[in-house]
Structures are given as structure tokens and as C-alpha cells.
């Protein structure tokens, strides 16, 4: 019997277990088209990102906040002249985002199925409560999780709290995700392993440098490599 130290594995959801950012990008493109008479696409996107950055502290992460930021940007760019009919279309695009089909990532299902017998799996995600619950239900992955934590932000305190409650504490836990800023760096700061699974589309506000001197930092190409990685930890 090996002395397995790991008890708990946390998984980010958006762009780790299922596609997400690609739907935001499509919505943003549609948004810039709606305002094409007033400004070019690049400057609309820049103003939108600035609004999102400003508004995170008020609305948190997710589609509702994104929709409000689109409306705010539209008011700014048109200097208050945006027709109500266009605001209605912006609201529609936001609602469409709340009903996009759930597309799970390669290897997500088989990996969770294989790990669920041995480890306590926890889904840890930001975003709108309704939307994340919907996506979890539609993904068909819910049964693999011992717990689901939908949180307003992901900090070292968040991970310490969750991993102290579930399993053997942060030192015996691992967090797996596509955001260095939200999933990896704070989990390592909490004392856990941080396994970075890069996604080609990651929101610019989630970018930070890879940790350089962190013995518990790991990086894999896709979820199919996770079990092999865990076996090397002993």
C-alpha cells in the first residue's frame, strides 16, 4: 500500500471541464457589430474590457455582469444616444449566452470517472450561480463530484476554507484549472498542488506569470494527462 497523501482534487469548471470563453468571444463580436455605426471593433472591445475590469468589484464574475458592462459600454460609445432597441438586442445576446449548449472538454468525463473512486472531487467555480448550476446539470458530470462550490472569487483563503472542510486539508489537496491567476497561484499559496491546464482562449483578466519557484506547480497539456501526473506524486 502506497502512502498516498492526496485526498482531494478541486476542478475549475469554465474552460477546464467545459468550453466557456469561446461563447463570450462570439457574444463580444456580435456586440461590436451592433455598435459598428459608432466605433470600430477594436476600440469597442477595449472599452468593454475596461468596463468589465471596473465592474468586477460591483457585479462579480459571470454573464449578468458582462451584460451590464456591454450596456454601459454602449451608452459610453454612443454618448448616450443608443436606441432602446439596440439595448434590447444586447440583453438578448446576454440571454443567449445563458443558454448556450454545454460542450465538455476532451478527457473530462473519463478522467473524473477514474478519479472519483479514490479521491474526493470538488468543483470550484466562479460565475453566476444559475448558469453554473445549469452547465453542471447539462454536462452530466455532476455525479462525480463530492461537492460543488460556486464562489465569488478564488483566493488562497477560498482554497484553504474549502480544502479544510473537504478531505485532509490544503496540503493534501490539488487544484486543476486553466487560470493561473484564479486556479493555480492561490491554490499553491494555500499549500496545495496547482495543476495548470492551459486553454487557448483564456480571458485576459485571468493572465499572470507562471510560478517559477513553486515545487507544487505542475502543467499538463490536457486532462487526459492528469492521472499519470497524480501517479508520479506518490
Residues engaged in binding Mg ion (CB under 5 A): 12, 14-15, 178-179
In the three-class reduction of DSSP (H, G, I as helix; E, B as strand; rest coil), residue 122 is classed as: strand
Q: Tell me how far CA of residue 34 lies from CA of 65, 73, 233, in angstroms.
A: 19, 12, 51
Strand pairing partners for 150? 125
Residue number, 19 or 78, with CB nearest to Mg ion: 19
Element (H, E) at 175: strand 173-177
DSSP classification of residue 16: T
- The runs of H, that is alpha helices, within the chain are 21-34, 41-59, 63-77, 84-97, 108-115, 129-139, 156-165, 185-189, 226-233
CA distances from 124 to 6, 18, 93, 148, 149 (A): 17, 13, 26, 6, 5
For cell 460543488, the residue is 148
* Residue number, 15 or 149, with CB nearest to Mg ion: 15
Q: From the CB of 223, what's the least distance to Mg ion, in Å?
A: 13
Is the CB of 12 or the CB of 52 nearer to Mg ion?
12
Instruction: Rank residues 13 and 115 by Cβ distance to Mg ion and give the closer one.
Output: 13
Shortest Å, Cβ 170 to Mg ion: 20
Cβ-proximal residue to Mg ion, closest one: 14
Q: Which is nearer to Mg ion, 8 or 178 (CB)?
A: 178
Q: How far is the CB of 66 from Mg ion (least distance, A)?
A: 15
Query: Please, how many CA atoms are within 13 Å of residue 187, restricted to the half-sphere of its CB?
Result: 30
In the bound complex, what is the minimum distance in angstroms from residue 12's beta carbon to Mg ion? Answer: 4
Least distance from Mg ion to the Cβ atom of residue 216, Å = 19
Minimum distance of Mg ion from residue 95's CB (angstroms): 22
Of residues 64 and 135, the one with the C-beta less far from Mg ion: 135
C-alpha closest to that of 61 among 14, 8, 108: 14
Amino acid at each position: 500500500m502506497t502512502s498516498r497523501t492526496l485526498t482531494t482534487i478541486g476542478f475549475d469548471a469554465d474552460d477546464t471541464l467545459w468550453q466557456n470563453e469561446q461563447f463570450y468571444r462570439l457574444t463580444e463580436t456580435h456586440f461590436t457589430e451592433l455598435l459598428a455605426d459608432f466605433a470600430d471593433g477594436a476600440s469597442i472591445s477595449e472599452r468593454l474590457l475596461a468596463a468589465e475590469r471596473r465592474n468586477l468589484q460591483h457585479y462579480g464574475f459571470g454573464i449578468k455582469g458582462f451584460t451590464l458592462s456591454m450596456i454601459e459600454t454602449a451608452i459610453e460609445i454612443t454618448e448616450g444616444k443608443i436606441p432602446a432597441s439596440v439595448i434590447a438586442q444586447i440583453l438578448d445576446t446576454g440571454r443567449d449566452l445563458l443558454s448556450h449548449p454545454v460542450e465538455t472538454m476532451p478527457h473530462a468525463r473519463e478522467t473524473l470517472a477514474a478519479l472519483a473512486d479514490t479521491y474526493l472531487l470538488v468543483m470550484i467555480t466562479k460565475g453566476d450561480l444559475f448558469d453554473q448550476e445549469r452547465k453542471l446539470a447539462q454536462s452530466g458530470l455532476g455525479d462525480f463530484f463530492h461537492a460543488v462550490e460556486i464562489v465569488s472569487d478564488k483566493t488562497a483563503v477560498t482554497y484553504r476554507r474549502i480544502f479544510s472542510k473537504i478531505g485532509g486539508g490544503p496540503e493534501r489537496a490539488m487544484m486543476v484549472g486553466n487560470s493561473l491567476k484564479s486556479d493555480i497561484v492561490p491554490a499553491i499559496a494555500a499549500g496545495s498542488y496547482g495543476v495548470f491546464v492551459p486553454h487557448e482562449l483564456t480571458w485576459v483578466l485571468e493572465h499572470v506569470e507562471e510560478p517559477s519557484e513553486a515545487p507544487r506547480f505542475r502543467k499538463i497539456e490536457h486532462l487526459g494527462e492528469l492521472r499519470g501526473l497524480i501517479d508520479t506524486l506518490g
